[in-house]
A and B are shown apart, each in its own frame.
Chain A
Amino acid sequence: MNRLLQWILPALLLTVCCGLPNQASAAAKTYQRSQQQYQLPDVTLVNQDGKRVRLKNIIDTNKPVVVDFIFGTCTTICPVLSAGFINLQNRLGADAAKVHLVSITIDPENDNPKVLKEYLKRYRAKPGWDFFTGSRKDIDLVMNSFGAYIPNKMSHYAVTFIHAPKSTHWIKLYGIMSSTEFMEEVRKVGL
């Protein structure tokens, strides 16, 4: 028995020591990618400066558009999504304005333009990242049209949508991406 232990113990220790870092570095892809078509409603949203903008005019531009759903006082998923946004802007550097990042609140009651503005400031957002609110009815319509209706903001999940200029479809990215993965996804739509 003792002899057995003499052999097994070092072997186990070796596995523990060498095995763990390998596991950690080989993180699998943790998001799902799919191509979708959405019928977006003709609603008007309000941005962080209190300006009213038609959703159509936000999306139909000659830039790639990235959309996510977050809220100002969210504690778990939104900061992760927003860190992804700001990191993308940082990596793009001078090209940051070539992609339009669009966050839409799922808590329109609390998120007035002042809250939106402070949120962007907290993340040190650069021009090109806008945060929108609107009436609950309009926000619900938008969430529904993206198939991402979230009735209770505390059961919120991570999903990002990318639209290439003039494209008829959207890329839906469900889950949380690393910054390299996010960058690749945006490049794929023609940045």
Chain B
Amino acid sequence: MRQIRAIACLMVLLLVGAFTAALAAEQPANSTTADLTPAELHRLGERIYREGILSDGTPLRGFIRGDVPVDSTVFSCANCHTRSGLGSLEGQVASPPVNGPNLFKPRYLYADFVKNTISASRGKSRPATAIRPAYTDETLAAALLAGVSATGRDFAPIMPRYDLGNRDMQILISYLKNLSSQVSPGITDTTMHLATIVTDDVSATDRAALLAPLQTLVSINEQRKTQRKDQRFAKMFRMLDNAYYRDLSISTWELKGEPETWPAQLEAYYRKEPVFAILSGISHRSWQPIHEFCERHQLPDLFPVTDLPVISDTDWYTMYASRGYYGEGETAARYVASQDEPVKKRRLLQIVLQSEQGKALAAGFDAAWKESGSPGSVKTIMFAASTPPDAKQLKALFAAHKPTTVLIWGGEQLLTSLRQLSGMKKLPRIYLSGRALEKNLSEIPENLREKVLLTYPFRLPEDEKAYRGFADVLLMSRQKIKDDQRITSRTFSAVHMFLQGLKELKLDFYRDTLLDQISMRPDQYLPDFERYSFGPGQRYASKGCYLVQLGSGPKPRLIKRSDWVVF
């Protein structure tokens, strides 16, 4: 008996020894990152987390499903667990939160403390048991290397098992500890602070059209607060479990003067009131200075009313409803390129008014034309925005270049010369921007309409009524605002998407989470644009644009000539 006990004790000792040795092997020595400044440590950690690039610049390697090797420039942590680390749910795969506050404390079934309390009889209660203990540096390292959770359970086979050395492990763990660990600025115990932006080139009517839905949002939110106190609704609100509880404050940041001065004005507003996000906003100038300000401050900027967005594949913080005039130019290029005609005989003449509008249309056209392999020759002629070409000049250009297709990028300034073209015989096919001429489409002469194709970035008017009605009922009915520029309805869409994000944000008040959550919404059917569609990292919700022709009469019908998305 004594012998057996001795053997058992020896075994225990051996096991403890083996465990300690294993832990020591995995324990990252602190000295491995001692040479790094905190800022450098953060930068390297962010690069592993977001891009899957190790501290020495090589790709992070791992295995999924046992034996499928992956290099993690496509299997970075952020890819599934999202940029903010709060995780995602796609199909049958749940990627749990991996930010510091979630990893390094026990995990309960609900995020909400109240729900995790089990009530016993007569008011006595006890906290629920955790479903996973807090991670330590050691158990987290084991999770990343071997795919074993802190509970001892194996992760799903699609969670990569990563090949991380001590130094990179320590860099990554240090990054995770700080990831989404501080509530973002703009949130207090009672209030979520937001702002909207209006520039001084916007008329008083248009300004009012933007502010009306935002005011309605604030007042509806006020009503919820009152209703919540009512016993009958209390449970429902508990179930919603979310940010609606806070008051919403929406400041209006007015920008005056030239765009070069906007950054300083924005900085001053932001110093005074560091808001959680910018909600909608309006300018007829390029959105670029505001976009760049928001990138600098990592400040979400949700669906401003602009047709001059910044086009970028990598910028993160501004979400646009569409690609604006640039997108119309792209669609025109793709449509022309897809037409069945001999490339050798295809001669394009692009006439560009040097306004922000004209330049954006031409930039979109040029980029997409190049992507299509430049199937035909293009001659581009510029005109100052203040001196658009008259009919005589247009005719001379047509005679000199003998184009098969003409693109004329500009706005209302073109109408006079277009009217004068109407008598001309043997006109080439002419492409114009439907958004730029939206209010004046009926002024395009009837005998020209057969030759004119318009890019039209919105749902066709005959299909639009139902969606406008929806917005009217929800937000605009109480405020009779004159709006023929799609400002109220586009702001309504911004509010709708903001609420969609807020609902999922719950109490995780991190700016990146708001953006991550909006990115993961299913397609939305809202006023103006045919469809808003989303996806991680996508920043232009409406991807399509029709090509239309005008019917006859003083109120011409728009006739679809293309699909919503043109390749």
By secondary structure, the B interface counts as loop
As a 0/1 sequence over residues 68 to 81 of chain B, the CB contacts with chain A under 8 angstroms (1 = contact) are 11100111000110
Return chain B residues, CB-CB under 8 Å to A134: 567
Q: Would you call B371 and A114 a contact (CB within 8 A)?
A: yes
Q: Would you call B90 and A10 a contact (CB within 8 A)?
A: no
Rounded to whole angstroms, the CA-CA distance of A155 and B521 in the bound complex is 11
As a 0/1 sequence over residues 121 to 157 of chain A, the CB contacts with chain B under 8 angstroms (1 = contact) are 0110000000001111100000000000001111111
Q: Would you call A179 and B535 a contact (CB within 8 A)?
A: no
Q: Would you call A27 and B69 a contact (CB within 8 A)?
A: no
Counting contact residues on chain B (CB < 8 A from A), the size range is 35 or more
B523 close to chain A: CB less than 8 A: yes
Q: Would you call B372 and A76 a contact (CB within 8 A)?
A: no
Q: Would you call B533 and A83 a contact (CB within 8 A)?
A: no
B170 close to chain A: CB less than 8 A: no
Q: Would you call B66 and A110 a contact (CB within 8 A)?
A: no
Return chain A residues, CB-CB under 8 Å to B69: 83, 87, 179
Q: Would you call A157 and B92 a contact (CB within 8 A)?
A: yes
Near A by CB (< 8 A), chain B positions 233-291 give none
Rounded to whole angstroms, the CA-CA distance of A152 and B565 in the bound complex is 18
What 4 A-B pairs come out closest when comparing CB atoms? Answer: A73-B535, A109-B543, A76-B90, A152-B522
A6 close to chain B: CB less than 8 A: yes
Return chain B residues, CB-CB under 8 Å to A151: 522
A112 close to chain B: CB less than 8 A: yes
Q: Would you call A110 and B533 a contact (CB within 8 A)?
A: yes
Q: Would you call A76 and B95 a contact (CB within 8 A)?
A: yes
Near A by CB (< 8 A), chain B positions 336-367 give none
Q: Would you call B75 and A109 a contact (CB within 8 A)?
A: no
Partner of A7, one of B8, B82, B522: B8
Q: Would you call A178 and B66 a contact (CB within 8 A)?
A: yes
Count chain A residues whose beta carbon lies closer than 8 angstroms to a beta carbon of B.
55
Return chain A residues, CB-CB under 8 Å to B75: 79, 83
Q: Which of B150-158, B468-476, B495-503 contacts A (4 or more CB under 8 A)?
A: B150-158
A165 close to chain B: CB less than 8 A: no
Q: Would you call A75 and B80 a contact (CB within 8 A)?
A: yes
Report which residue of B91, B93, B533 has the largest number of chain A beta carbons within 10 angstroms of its beta carbon.
B91
Partner of A176, one of B11, B158, B372: B158
Q: Would you call B11 and A80 a contact (CB within 8 A)?
A: no
A134–chain B nearest beta-carbon distance, Å:
8
Rounded to whole angstroms, the CA-CA distance of A176 and B63 in the bound complex is 13
Rounded to whole angstroms, the CA-CA distance of A50 and B369 in the bound complex is 12
Q: Would you call B88 and A109 a contact (CB within 8 A)?
A: no
Rounded to whole angstroms, the CA-CA distance of A123 and B69 in the bound complex is 12
Give the nearest-CB partner of B544 in chain A.
A109
Report which residue of B67, B93, B146 has the largest number of chain A beta carbons within 10 angstroms of its beta carbon.
B93
Partner of A107, one of B89, B91, B533, B567: B533
As a 0/1 sequence over residues 46 to 87 of chain A, the CB contacts with chain B under 8 angstroms (1 = contact) are 100010000000000000000000011111110110111001
Q: Would you call B74 and A79 a contact (CB within 8 A)?
A: yes
Q: Would you call B91 and A154 a contact (CB within 8 A)?
A: yes
A155–chain B nearest beta-carbon distance, Å:
5
A4 close to chain B: CB less than 8 A: no
Rounded to whole angstroms, the CA-CA distance of A17 and B12 in the bound complex is 12
As a 0/1 sequence over residues 159 to 186 of chain A, the CB contacts with chain B under 8 angstroms (1 = contact) are 0000000000000000011111000000
Q: Would you call A79 and B565 a contact (CB within 8 A)?
A: no
Return chain A residues, CB-CB under 8 Å to B80: 75-76
B318–chain A nearest beta-carbon distance, Å:
17
Return chain A residues, CB-CB under 8 Å to B79: 75-76, 79
Rounded to whole angstroms, the CA-CA distance of A153 and B89 in the bound complex is 11
Q: Would you call A136 and B74 a contact (CB within 8 A)?
A: no
Give the nearest-CB partner of A90 in chain B.
B69
Q: Would you call A180 and B67 a contact (CB within 8 A)?
A: yes
B486 close to chain A: CB less than 8 A: no
Rounded to whole angstroms, the CA-CA distance of A157 and B158 in the bound complex is 13
Near A by CB (< 8 A), chain B positions 511-535 give 520-523, 531, 533, 535
Q: Would you call A154 and B520 a contact (CB within 8 A)?
A: yes
A154–chain B nearest beta-carbon distance, Å:
5
Q: Would you call A23 and B158 a contact (CB within 8 A)?
A: no
